[in-house]
Structure 1
Amino acid sequence: MMISAATPFNLLEQDLLLLPQKAIYWQQQKALIIADVHFGKVGHFRKAGIAVPLDMEQSDLATLSDLIHEHRPEKLLFLGDLFHSDMNNDWDWFILWRSQFPQLQIILIKGNHDIIADSHYERLNIRLHDELLLGPFLMLHHPLPDIQLQTAAGYVFCGHIHPGVNLNGRARQSITLPCFAFGNKQAILPSFGKFTGKVAIRSQQTDQIFAVLKDKVIAIA
């Protein structure tokens, strides 16, 4: 197992580690925070007759297991879109994975793709919420527009849009990398799942943007 090179980030007197696996470890809460895993997306596409490598789903589960073994969290917070769309055979892999961490508290903030019956999660001892205030942070799936952020109960952590940042090289090369985007009142996390895209976001000068490379996270702005 490779030990990740984490980037420390202090926010509202809370100590966060930004991880190149596109997750955050919140030290005070001993919690891993992850957005947009989209387990089951491989099975969803294969069910529709689209050829996708079978091992892609297991790779995400293996990465998540490595993070748990490395950081020893007490909580695992999924910020929505944990399982992609309707039930398929990939759920069996998730059941097996869950059985390896029976003492881990798992919380799912439901996203727009989390459409399978709540009972499936409840049987795996996974708590479900539409939103959750934990310390100074309000856990959501969808980002809030500016007008709603003014009255939000806490600093928002969310996902949904799979944020990326464009980097340009001297020879006119351009690449879009996943990123963590911290605004004045809201942080948008990159999508954890490997079988997901990313969208370059527009940031304000006051935002703090961290690009995710293969083995490290670097500050861009």
Structure 2
Amino acid sequence: MVSTNIKGNQLILHPEKAAYWPAEKALLLSDLHLGKGAHFRRAGIAVPSAVSGANFSRLLSLIKLFKPARVLFLGDLFHSDYNQVWPLFCAFTHEHAEVSFELIPGNHDILPAAAYQEARMIRQPEILTIGNLSLSHHPLSDQERPTGTYNIYGHIHPCVRLLDATGNSLRLPAFFFGEKGGILPAFGEFTGCAEVKARLGDQVFVLVEGEVVEASV
């Protein structure tokens, strides 16, 4: 784990692709895409059924470690229409009644309101401002971003390309913190990633071999 300061806010970056905000007792995750494997299997595409179980196991380990009061999902919690994975998620949230599960909706969050109620999920607005941080799924433009806030978001599934000791190129998921906004890596096991080019002054934290490592820009 690595602790970093974002506009006066301590964030603890965890190698399981999550950030913990101690001052708010909030665990921040983005892009779980739960149910994506089941969605593709229903379409006849072979995807291991263990994917969803791995996501739940990792989330459980984070809750046990940090004991958050809130888990804030920064969009794309569930990948598709209702399928058999949603009742499993509902069972998970009810097993952890001490935690407030909250969704800042993304483009894949299309389930009806009743489904979120079933999961005791609080559906927040598309921009949730807490202190001087504005949380969203998509990156906010200067016009959209509340005045004086720094934007933390997902959606991009960021990664960085680095060279290993042998000169081979590796794409690794990463946390990116730029001048006006920071990007969380995709939490989901079955999500892919997109390369993000860092600029001078950006902070980049790469996830490699179970560790969070700051990369030089």
Q: Same fold (TM over 0.5)?
A: yes
Q: Of residues 124, 134, 139 in structure 2, which corresponds to 1:138?
A: 134
Q: 1:70 Cα shift?
A: 0.8
Whole-Å separation in 2 of the counterparts to 1:92 and 1:125: 12
In structure 1, the residue matched to 2:192 is: 197
Whole-Å separation in 2 of the counterparts to 1:126 and 1:29: 18
The question of whether the paired residues in 1 share the 8 Å contact of 2:90 and 2:118 is answered with no
In structure 2, the residue matched to 1:3 is: none
Q: Report the AA paired with residue 139 of structure 1.
A: L
In structure 1, the residue matched to 2:94 is: 99
Identity %: 39
Moved over 6 A (4+): none
Q: Of residues 24, 30, 35 in structure 2, which corresponds to 1:29?
A: 24
Whole-Å separation in 2 of the counterparts to 1:220 and 1:76: 27
Question: 1:21-64 CA deviation, whole Å, 9 max, x = no partner?
Answer: 00000010011000000001011011101111111101100100
The question of whether the paired residues in 2 share the 8 Å contact of 1:133 and 1:153 is answered with no
Q: Of residues 187, 209, 215 in structure 2, which corresponds to 1:214?
A: 209
The question of whether the paired residues in 2 share the 8 Å contact of 1:183 and 1:208 is answered with yes
Q: 1:88 Cα shift?
A: 0.7
What root-mean-square deviation, in Å, do the aligned CA atoms of Structure 1 and Structure 2 show? 1.4
Whole-Å separation in 1 of the counterparts to 2:187 and 2:115: 22
Q: 1:10 Cα shift?
A: 1.3
- Unmatched 5+ residue regions in structure 1? 1-5
The question of whether the paired residues in 2 share the 8 Å contact of 1:149 and 1:185 is answered with no
Question: 1:97-126 CA deviation, whole Å, 9 max, x = no partner?
Answer: 112101211110000000111221123221
Q: Report the AA paired with residue 101 of structure 1.
A: H
1:1-221 to structure 2, matched below 5 A, reads: 6-129=1-124, 130-145=126-141, 147-148=142-143, 152=147, 154-221=149-216
Q: Report the AA paired with residue 207 of structure 1.
A: D
Change (3 A) 1:152 1:200: farther
Whole-Å separation in 2 of the counterparts to 1:9 and 1:58: 30
The alignment partner of 1:28 has SS state of helix
Alignment TM-score, normalising by the size of structure 1: 0.93
The alignment partner of 2:23 has SS state of coil
Q: Report the AA paired with residue 38 of structure 1.
A: H
- More off after superposition, 74-83 vs 151-160: 151-160
Whole-Å separation in 2 of the counterparts to 1:201 and 1:132: 24
The question of whether the paired residues in 2 share the 8 Å contact of 1:78 and 1:109 is answered with yes
- Unmatched 5+ residue regions in structure 2? none
The alignment partner of 1:110 has SS state of coil
